[in-house]
Amino acid sequence: MTDVRLDHRLVIVSNRLPVALRRDAQGRWEAEPGSGGLVTALAPVLRNRGGLWIGWPGVAQTEDMNLDGSLREAVRGSGFAFKPVPLTEVEVAGYYYGFANEILWPLFHDLQTRCNFDPGYWEVYRRVNRKFAKIVAAAIRDDDHIWVHDYHLMLVGNELHRLAIRQKIGYFLHIPFPPPDLFLKLPWRYEILNALLAYDIVGLQTHRDKRNFVQCVRSMRKDVAVRGKGRVVSAWVDHREVRIGNFPISIDFEEFSRKAGSFEVNRRVAEIRSDLGSDGRRQMLLLGVDRLDYTKGIPERLMALADALERFPDLRGRISLMQIVVPSRVNIPKYQDLKLDIERKVSEINGKYTRTDWLPIRYIFHSIDRTELVALYRSADIALITPLKDGMNLVAKEYCATHIDNDGVLILSEFAGAADQLHAHPLLVNPYDVREVAETINTACHMPPEEKRRRMKALRRIVRKSDIYWWVDAFLGTVFSHDLEAFSRIDEEVPHMAFPPRTGPHRPPL
Ligand code: G6P
């Protein structure tokens, strides 16, 4: 098997570059690191092997902006090259805020009632996808491996074909793919499905996403035959093969583990723990880390915490939630409303339960540096990761990677893509079921150390085995290798189950 990873230059095309431009206090443009699963996962890959990243720098083009100049500094430390795609204010409004964030994002997260199917957005979305394709076509070399990412750029493959680009193009969707019942609501469902079938491979996060996509292909394109079973199946579109596979995205496990054992993290962990009280009476730390997003289930989680404090009074004074919310999409009114809702709930709960020696919730609304994040992961007795729907959720994997002492309990939403892969080793919950989440918090607080150890060891084994480099190899191998069989056999440790069984004491297995 040739090493598809290293023989060719990798060209990543995504909506965002891994850095976003913003004005500093003096009004000059500076680059800051981006947030979100896509950037978190892909940055180490390109750092490791080099390549070119094509994307939007995060702000609308202004006259005083010198894109290449402002990005030069960021490029220097990154180990790969950037090619910015400039977007006008109108383009950002219609393509990013409009079509991507008011239509695709809510619909693909099963939140159809939040969609605004404004036809004007579609025109701009098409135009911007065409613009990306032109910039890609001008930047690539014949033997590059082109890899397009996420819901913002579903039409780019098709547009590249129109520009007579003939090399293979891979596509990966980082968010869930909805079932036909929801996808069929999309006014541009045929255009989008057909554009996806123009890629040589469509990669999805989970078995469920792949099944949903295949069902949409089967119900909307009777002329397309989908054959095969296993991780990768083939759709035959006008005698052309399109591979469809599920590849759960991951993290750089070794890097997180190493960092968790470093001197500076150990020092911070000792400080954080001492702030939580001395040994016998130390409060247990619960941790939530999320981008500001209504899909993350933060208000529901806060209500579950309140319910736990109400119904299990022995938890009062014994547990403390640190909720970190990383600002995101803050110009969108729904995200501003969400922020207010979270802040009102935090203040209500703190107002009701705080004592002189105990604060139930510590709330942070800014991003934190990596040392502090890893120290918080390691210090947290329980990670509370309860999205209403999530493509994968890398916070769950990062939490496991940093628990090098095999302690810590992961409470995970069954609607996070990670639940599909981590099987029954986390405590799985339905995030809409406030009562169940409250009971699970109580269960986690009383879990015997031996059980914690057993679960965390199993979790770490899975994340270690299917890390970000495994993901890249599995995906690129499936697109560019002739030996599809070999790559179909690449599998994670545990078999898939449509509904992983619950292991908490309160609910019978489903
Ligand atoms: C998710 C998406 C990414 C996106 C990120 C941050 O992880 O899959 O494509 O970049 O959210 O959202 P933003 O809108 O700020 O790029």
Instruction: Tell me which of 16, 294, 326, 390 to substitute to probe ligand 1's pocket, judged by most ligand atoms within 8 Å of the beta carbon.
Output: 16
Helix (H, G, I), strand (E, B) or coil at 307: helix
| Contact by Cβ (8 Å): 20, 57 | yes
What's the rounded Cα separation, in Å, for the pair 166 and 164? 6
Question: How many Å lie between the centroid of ligand 1 and the Cα of residue 37?
Answer: 7
Please give the mean pLDDT across all residues of the chain: 91
Question: How many Å lie between the centroid of ligand 1 and the Cα of residue 38?
Answer: 7
Spatial CA neighbour of 132 closest among 151, 99, 162, 155:
155
Neighbours of 291 (CB within 10 A): 19
Rg (CA), the chain: 23
Residue 130 sits at the vertex; the CA angle it makes with 127 and 131, to the nearest 5 degrees, is 90
What's the rounded Cα separation, in Å, for the pair 403 and 406? 5
pLDDT category of residue 225 using cuts at 50, 70 and 90? very high
Q: Give me the phi and psi of 45, to 5 degrees please.
A: -65, -50
Question: How many Å lie between the centroid of ligand 1 and the Cα of residue 106?
Answer: 13
What's the rounded Cα separation, in Å, for the pair 28 and 73? 13
Q: What's the token pair of residue 353?
A: 């339960």
DSSP state of 342: H
Question: Which pLDDT does position 482 carry in this prediction?
Answer: 61
pLDDT tens-place string over residues 196-217: 999 999 999 999 999 999 999 9
Question: How many Å lie between the centroid of ligand 1 and the Cα of residue 17?
Answer: 11
Q: What's the token pair of residue 473?
A: 């190899």
Atom number in ligand 1 closest to CA 149: 9
pLDDT category of residue 79 using cuts at 50, 70 and 90? confident
- Sign of the torsion angle spanned by Cα atoms 364, 365, 371, 375: positive
Question: Which pLDDT does position 257 carry in this prediction?
Answer: 98
pLDDT tens-place string over residues 100-155: 999 999 999 999 999 999 999 999 999 999 999 999 999 999 999 999 999 999 99
Is residue 5 pLDDT above 70, yes or no?
no
pLDDT tens-place string over residues 457-475: 999 999 999 999 999 999 9
Question: Which pLDDT does position 483 carry in this prediction?
Answer: 59
Q: Ligand 1 site: residues with CB under 6 angstroms?
A: 15-16, 36-38, 150, 174-175, 328-329
Q: What percentage of the chain carries pLDDT values higher than 90?
A: 78
Measured in whole angstroms, how far is the alpha carbon of residue 359 from the centre of its chain? Answer: 30
Question: How many Å lie between the centroid of ligand 1 and the Cα of residue 201?
Answer: 21
- By DSSP bridging, strand 19-23 and strand 29-33 are antiparallel
Atom number in ligand 1 closest to CA 96: 14
pTM value?
0.93
Atom number in ligand 1 closest to CA 152: 9
pLDDT tens-place string over residues 29-42: 888 888 777 888 88
pLDDT category of residue 479 using cuts at 50, 70 and 90? confident
Question: Which pLDDT does position 24 carry in this prediction?
Answer: 83
Asked about 390 being catalytic, the answer comes back as yes
**Atom 3 in ligand 1: which residue has the minimum CA distance?**
38
Helix (H, G, I), strand (E, B) or coil at 122: helix
Helix (H, G, I), strand (E, B) or coil at 384: strand
**Atom 11 in ligand 1: which residue has the minimum CA distance?**
36
pLDDT tens-place string over residues 342-385: 999 999 999 999 999 999 999 999 999 999 999 999 999 999 99
**Atom 8 in ligand 1: which residue has the minimum CA distance?**
174
Instruction: Tell me which of 40, 174, 393 to substitute to probe ligand 1's pocket, judged by most ligand atoms within 8 Å of the beta carbon.
Output: 174
**Atom 4 in ligand 1: which residue has the minimum CA distance?**
36
Could you tell me where the beta strands, DSSP code E, fall in 409-495? 409-413, 427-429
Question: Which pLDDT does position 500 carry in this prediction?
Answer: 40
Specify the DSSP element, H or E, that contains 286: strand 284-291
Asked about 207 being catalytic, the answer comes back as no
Atom number in ligand 1 closest to CA 35: 6
Question: How many Å lie between the centroid of ligand 1 and the Cα of residue 248?
Answer: 17
**Atom 1 in ligand 1: which residue has the minimum CA distance?**
36
**Atom 12 in ligand 1: which residue has the minimum CA distance?**
36
Question: How many Å lie between the centroid of ligand 1 and the Cα of residue 215?
Answer: 26
